[in-house]
């Protein structure tokens, strides 16, 4: 489960997004936390389920309400070497969305597979 890496321990981290991008600051805060976590050479996983899938919806535009347009920032994850991005199929279905509606390429997992992935994590942060 844990392996030695350049003198440090690499843990499996999962950041679980399940809130819509607006209404609370959670979505933006989790995104910033994910970007910062990239500096620590950990095994980072980012999951989107429930209303969290709305965070990745194409065309969502926070600048309309005077906020920073952090929709574009999800596309920066790749440059930060964060490539393990997962979206839950059932959450997409419930909201009438498909993987084509999302701003990033993500692996679409069934709810059961998402649960199984979560079960193998060392640290989980859900918001």
User: Residue 123: which of 20, 28, 14 has the closest Cα?
Assistant: 14
Q: Which residues are near other proteins by CB under 8 A?
A: 16, 18, 26, 32, 35-36, 38-39, 49-50, 68-70, 72-73, 75-76, 79-80, 111, 114-116, 118-127
- Given a contact cutoff of 8 angstroms between Cβ atoms, the answer to whether 44 and 38 are in contact is yes
- Given a contact cutoff of 8 angstroms between Cβ atoms, the answer to whether 111 and 92 are in contact is no
Closest distance between other proteins and the C-beta of residue 96, in Å?
17
Using CA atoms, how far residue 87 sits from 3, 32, 46, 57, 58, in Å, is: 27, 19, 9, 11, 14
Closest distance between other proteins and the C-beta of residue 101, in Å?
20
Task: Closer to other proteins by CB, 100 or 119: give it.
Answer: 119
Structure-block tokens of residue 117: 């992935």
Closest distance between other proteins and the C-beta of residue 51, in Å?
9
Task: Closer to other proteins by CB, 49 or 106: give it.
Answer: 49
The CA-CA-CA angle for residues 93, 45, 96, to 5°, reads 10
Closest distance between other proteins and the C-beta of residue 28, in Å?
10
């Amino acid at each position: 489960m844990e392996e030695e890496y350049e003198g440090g321990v690499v843990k499996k981290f999962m950041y679980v997004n399940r809130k819509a991008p607006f209404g609370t600051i959670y979505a933006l805060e989790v995104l910033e936390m994910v970007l910062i976590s990239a500096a620590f050479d950990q095994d980072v996983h980012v999951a989107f389920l429930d209303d969290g899938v709305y965070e990745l919806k194409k065309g969502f535009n926070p600048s309309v309400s005077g906020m920073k347009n952090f929709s574009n920032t999800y596309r920066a994850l790749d440059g930060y070497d964060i490539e393990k991005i997962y979206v839950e199929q059932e959450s997409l279905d419930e909201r009438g969305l498909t993987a084509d509606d999302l701003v990033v390429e993500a692996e679409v997992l069934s709810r059961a597979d998402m649960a199984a992935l979560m079960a193998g994590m060392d640290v989980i942060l859900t918001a």
